[in-house]
Structures are given as structure tokens and as C-alpha cells.
Amino acid sequence: MIVSTQRDTALTRNQSLVLEALADAKGPLTAYAILDQLRDRGMRAPPQVYRALDKLVADGMVHRLESINAFVVCQLPDCGSRETMIFAICSDCSQVTEIRDGGVGDRFQAVAEQAAFSVHKSIVELRGRCAHCRAS
């Protein structure tokens, strides 16, 4: 159930700044971390950041990680926001790997159907350790 996604409108200045901050970051950032980074480029208050994030998330360019209240730039091409994605979040370094897996979405549908539940959005976040942190 891929619902597409990328709106055609250009990004506003704030949206571009926020997206850039997330793209430059090594891992996920909280809204307030983004705000701090962008203060010297004119960002002054939380609503500005949250509004930009709303748009970027709606367009699927950024994902919100519910379990850590943070945001990460989308790592995969053609990532509609409604698709089932798996986020593997390293508990040590907090880096995130984004995984697309249709099978999981199908399984959710099946399981939900048993419970007479209709799924609109799936949140899947795996906490653990990435290869790099396990090695060190």
C-alpha cells in the first residue's frame, strides 16, 4: 500500500535548513538539537522547527523515531511516508539503519485482520547494537 508522496512544491527556507541539518547529522536529532544548530541561521523558536519537520515528515523526506523523540533524514529512495519501514536504532551510538521490508507489513495486515483492526500506519523500531559498536 504505497501512497505516494513527494509533493512538488519547493521547500521553504526553514524546511531546507532543517532538512540540511538532518542530512549533515551522523544520526537522529531532536527538534531542540536542530533548533540549537540553526540559531545562527535565523531559527529562533520551537514552532519553526516543528512546522518544518511536519512538512518534511508528511512528504516522507524525514522520519520521526517515536521511541527516542528524534528525527532522521530518510535513507532510502522513493520512500513514501505510509510504507512500512523498520528502524534499527543502536543503543550505543544511536545511529539508525532504515530497512524496507514488505513482508512485515503484510504480516501486520494479517495479524490485524484477526483482531478486526484496520492499520493505517505502522511503527517499528528495533533497539539493539549495530555491527560497529559490537565490534568495538
Identify the CA nearest to 85 among candidates 110, 112, 57, 113: 57
Compute the distance between CA of residue 18 and CA of residue 30 in angstroms, rounded to an integer.
11
Q: What is the DSSP string of 39-93?
A: GGGT--SHHHHHHHHHHHHHTTSEEEETTTTEEEE--STT--TTS-EEEEEETTT
Binding span for a copy of itself by CB under 8 A among 6-14, 17-25, 34-42, 117-125? 117-125
Q: x/- string (CB under 8 A) for a copy of itself, residues 38-77?
A: ----------------------------xx----------
The distance of closest approach from Cβ of residue 86 to a copy of itself in the complex, given in angstroms and rounded to an integer, is 6
Q: Contact letters (x/-) for a copy of itself, 80-109, by CB under 8 A?
A: ------x-x-xx-----x-x-x-xx--xx-
Reduced to 3 states (helix: H, G, I; strand: E, B; else coil), residue 26 is coil
With H, G, I as helix, E, B as strand and everything else as coil, classify residue 106: helix
Quick one: what does residue 47 bind among DNA, a copy of itself, none, with the CB cut-off 5 to 8 Å set by partner type?
Answer: DNA
Residue 126, interface with a copy of itself (CB under 8 A)? yes
Q: Cβ 45 to DNA, closest distance in Å?
A: 3
Binding at 123: pick from a copy of itself, DNA, none (beta carbon under 5-8 Å per type): a copy of itself
